[in-house]
Amino acid sequence: MKAVTLNVEGMSCGHCVAAIEGSLKKELGINAKVDLAAKTVSVEFDEANVTVEKIKDVIEDQGYDVN
């Protein structure tokens, strides 16, 4: 398992947390933890199945900017 923390702009409330954590779980099957104050999304994933690029795509599809 690989652990990565991404810097994400635009997350503002519990709905945003649910949108990001939910879409990563649903679309990629991975667990994510959003920290609104730190503006980060931390994920753990199996590199055999998922790439950081895919994770960024899912977050961006929800309307947020990944730096």
Q: Which parts of this chain interact with a second copy (CB under 8 A)?
A: 10, 12-16, 19, 63
Residue closer to a second copy, measured from CB, 13 or 48 = 13
Residue closer to a second copy, measured from CB, 19 or 24 = 19
- Residue 44 bridge partners (DSSP): 3, 31
* Minimum distance, C-beta of residue 48 to a second copy, in the bound complex (Å): 33
- Distance in angstroms (rounded) separating the CA atoms of residues 27 and 19: 12
CA–CA distances in Å: residue 32 to residues 15, 46, 57? 14, 13, 14
* Minimum distance, C-beta of residue 54 to a second copy, in the bound complex (Å): 23
